């Protein structure tokens, strides 16, 4: 399956599908349709049924059950789904991706050919050591790769094609879903959970083989806006109110021990990640992340206290704070429906992978889908360094994801027999 999944991945990463958090439309960028429409055509060629794409760029398809009428599981196996997102991160360009392939990787740092200053270092990528002998795909150093989550798309497409070509593998109804805008926190907003009609689903949007996920951050977005008053600098005395200065003080007071670069594991963070402005108006975008949902209120309190400290120094500057809910930790819901987790664990073991549960310091479409009533844990892809020019993926690891999907659909049949 390495050859098939690699061919699909290389085809998909050439299509620019970067999403845009400043857009209010769904999808946030129309170019996401370029990949989604291609997937619709490929699903038709493979032979799936009930294939559709809606006006918001959600793709759905079904691989019908092939359980014989005399099989002990006939009529007992619920539909399960597999989901991946087509968009790539707005943090780094996904246009004109020039994928590089290393066959039989033998270790060492990987200097990216288009920019020798961009290096995938073994010291920063300990998982490279686990990939000796693997096929590694990375970029030329000018863009991200788009393995997040075109690897997941490729894994699902390869798995369903394999199942169609091997009808001796018994499975129930398999639903396929491809979403837009996951990278900007909107991937599940318009997902048709009712129409998908599954008891359980799985996102293919994870890390190295073995790491499976049933727990994510709870997440809120925060926007701070400072308002000033502009005037020609030559006549600004006692008139100009510079919104940038107030915002600079707010940023300077953000706690450095509660930042992504200083936290790990279950530690929460406050992440100011984008600022833009003029004298008149400055906006700061912030991410709040905590595995305990009530902890998000504590992060908001920290920001409120910073603003209360800064405001007296800028009495003429108006400061506003807006918090928007993004997604919630899926752990409690998934653990109350543990059978799908148990089946995933067994599928990993059958694939020759040693599974372990690891919390995601981020989110997936599964976070929101679980909240919407569709339990959806996450499966590995073999990818690393998402959202960066140093992004890479082990094709051997990606093939393990395909194998895990194929084993998983069989286990659902066996357990219901």
Distance CA 279, CA 281 (A): 6
- To 10 degrees, the CA torsion angle through 156, 365, 58, 16? -80
Q: Which of 326, 415, 330 is nearest to 21 (CA)?
A: 326
User: Is residue 342 annotated as a catalytic residue, yes or no?
Assistant: no
- Determine the Cα–Cα distance for residues 394 and 208; give it in Å rounded to an integer: 8
Sign of the dihedral through C-alpha 19, 390, 289, 201 = positive
Report the alpha-carbon distance of residue 228 to residue 256 in Å, rounded.
Answer: 27
Distance CA 386, CA 393 (A): 10
Residues 393 and 5: beta-carbon distance below 8 Å = no
204 within 8 A of 379, measured Cβ to Cβ: yes
Backbone angles phi, psi at 175, to 5 degrees: -100, 140
Longest dimension (CA), the chain: 89
- Residues 212 and 206: beta-carbon distance below 8 Å: yes
Which letter does DSSP use for residue 110 in this model? E
Q: Tokens in use for 333?
A: 């819901």
Residue 253, class by beta-carbon neighbours within 10 Å (0-12 exposed, 13-18 middle, 19+ buried)? middle
Q: How far apart are CA 112 and CA 142, in angstroms?
A: 9
Instruction: Give backbone dihedrals phi and psi of 7, rounded to 5 degrees, phi first.
Output: -60, -40
Residue among 16, 42, 87, 290 flagged as catalytic: 87
Helices H, strands E: what count in the chain?
10, 18
Query: How far is residue 27's CA from residue 32's CA, in Å, rounded to a whole number?
Result: 7
Which residue's structure tokens are 């949007």? 205
Please indicate whether residue 414 is annotated as part of the active site. no
Query: Residues with Cβ < 8 Å from 295, sequence gap 6 or more?
Result: 218, 268
Q: Which two tokens stand for residue 230?
A: 């502009």
User: Which residues, 6+ apart, have CB-to-CB distance to 338 below 8 Å?
Assistant: none
Closest CA to 347 of 200, 216, 215: 200
Catalytic residue among 16, 42, 182, 290: 182
The residues assigned a catalytic role are 87, 182
């Amino acid at each position: 399956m390495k050859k098939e999944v690699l061919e699909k991945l290389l085809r998909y990463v050439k299509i620019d599908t970067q999403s845009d958090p400043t857009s209010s439309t769904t999808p946030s960028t129309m170019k996401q349709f370029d990949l989604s429409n291609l997937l619709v055509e490929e699903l038709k060629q493979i032979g799936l049924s009930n294939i559709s794409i809606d006006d918001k760029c959600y793709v759905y398809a079904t691989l019908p059950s092939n359980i014989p009428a005399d099989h002990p599981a006939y009529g007992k196996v619920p539909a399960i789904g597999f989901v991946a997102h087509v968009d790539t991160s707005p943090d780094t360009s996904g246009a004109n991706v020039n994928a590089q392939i290393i066959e039989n990787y033998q270790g060492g740092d990987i200097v990216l050919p288009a920019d020798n200053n961009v290096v995938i270092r073994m010291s920063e990528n300990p998982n490279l050591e686990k990939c000796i002998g693997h096929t590694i795909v990375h970029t030329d150093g000018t863009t991200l790769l788009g393995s997040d989550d075109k690897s997941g798309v490729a894994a699902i497409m390869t798995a369903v094609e394999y199942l169609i070509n091997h009808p001796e593998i018994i499975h129930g109804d398999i639903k396929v879903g491809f979403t837009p805008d996951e990278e900007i926190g909107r991937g599940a907003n318009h997902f048709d959970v009712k129409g998908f009609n599954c008891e359980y689903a799985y996102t293919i949007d994870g890390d190295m083989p073995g790491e499976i996920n049933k727990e994510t951050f709870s997440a809120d977005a925060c926007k701070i806006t400072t308002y000033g008053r502009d005037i020609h600098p030559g006549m600004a005395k006692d008139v100009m109110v510079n919104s940038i200065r107030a915002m600079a003080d707010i940023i300077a007071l953000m706690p450095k021990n509660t930042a992504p670069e200083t936290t790990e594991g279950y530690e929460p963070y406050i992440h100011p990640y984008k600022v833009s402005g003029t004298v008149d108006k400055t906006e700061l975008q912030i991410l709040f992340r905590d595995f305990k949902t009530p902890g998000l209120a504590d992060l908001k309190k920290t920001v409120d206290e910073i603003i209360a400290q800064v405001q007296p120094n800028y009495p003429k500057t108006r400061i506003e704070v807006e918090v928007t809910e993004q997604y919630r930790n899926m752990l409690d819901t998934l653990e109350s429906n543990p059978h799908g987790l148990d089946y995933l664990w067994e599928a990993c073991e059958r694939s020759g992978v040693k599974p372990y549960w690891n919390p995601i310091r981020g989110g997936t479409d599964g976070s929101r889908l679980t909240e919407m009533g569709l339990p959806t844990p996450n499966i590995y892809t073999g990818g690393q360094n998402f959202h960066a020019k140093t992004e890479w993926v082990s094709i051997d690891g990606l093939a393990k994801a395909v194998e895990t999907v194929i084993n998983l659909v069989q286990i659902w049949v066996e357990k219901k027999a």
